[in-house]
Amino acid sequence: MHQKTIRKPISCAGIGLHSGKKVHLSLRPAPEDTGILFCVRDENGSRFLKPAPDSVHSTRLATTLARGRDAIATVEHILAAIRGMGIDNVLIEVQGGELPIMDGSAAPFVYLLRLAGTQVQNRARRVMALKKPIEFVREGKWIKAEPFKGFAVDYSIEFNHPMIGRQEFFIELTPDLFARRLAKARTFGFLQEVEMLRANGLALGGSLENAVVLDEFGVVNEDGLRFKDEFVRHKVLDFVGDMAMYEAPLWGRFEVHASGHALNNEFLRYITANADEYLEEVVLGEPRAAAREKACRPMPGAAPALA
């Protein structure tokens, strides 16, 4: 019911998917009503960058946020981890222009958030609830959403590949379910695509350490999959991260088919541009101080408290 931040700062380093270079990440506690805020750090100092549907600049390879000359790439998995673990306010400092890709999943970020701990804050939590159904259909892909008290996703994918085929996954998001059922699912790609990206100087940090790679017959990674339906689980993880571009947690039930970063962003831009029609703010409970005061107030007709 109340906003949450992390209890203490925490840092890590890893490889950037785009550059293949070492990049640094720090997570810091943030005051109430900050939301999720990125901070770009480089030789020119620090600048803030707020995730927003229209600050998504590119969805090729991974989601990149940009404003002016500042850009931060590969933001979707950390956003998914923060939203998935129910953190409202956090500062994400990035050095090196992109988030570390880690193992291609959100599990290392969940681990970091758990090490940092959670701090409950005083102000009530605010969410944006979908107030009427919407069907967003584009060339055989869709996001159909309806009002729901929480965040639920019913996702399906269909790939003409022996390891994937049709996969479906449903989740009503809670921090515990996010950590157990979604966080570990890794991003995936096809060998031909990976070779083409590398030939074009892209995904220089991409390897079997941070993606499930498929050839025409199966999985190239020696250790295989973490879940039989790891592919659709990762799509749900990406969806959670992409919806976290909105300033407040979204409430709705989403039926999603074959979507990706681009369509997710197009959907979010649409409902944001038409917020009066589709969204309403819901404040969950009241500030902690007010709740405490009410609990201490004598019941009407009760004997006056002794001084």
The catalytic site residues sit at: 261
Shortest spacing between CB 164 and Zn ion, in angstroms: 15
Least gap, CB of 268 to Zn ion (angstroms) = 16
Nearer to Zn ion, 231 or 246 (CB): 231
What tokens were used for 93?
A: 């400092």
Q: Which residues contact Zn ion by CB under 5 A? A: 187, 238
Shortest Å, Cβ 187 to Zn ion: 4
Question: Minimum distance from CB of 76 to Zn ion (Å)?
Answer: 5
Which lies closer to Zn ion via its Cβ, residue 73 or residue 128? 73
Inter-residue contact 24 to 94 (CB < 8 Å): yes
Q: ∠ at Cα 193 (195, 203), nearest 5°?
A: 65
Q: Which is nearer to Zn ion, 163 or 237 (CB)?
A: 237
Q: What is the C-alpha separation between 25 and 57, in angstroms, rounded?
A: 21
Residue 127 vs 245, nearer CB to Zn ion? 245
Which residues, 6 or more positions from 183, have their beta carbon under 8 angstroms from its beta carbon? Answer: 81, 84, 105, 106, 107, 109, 110, 237
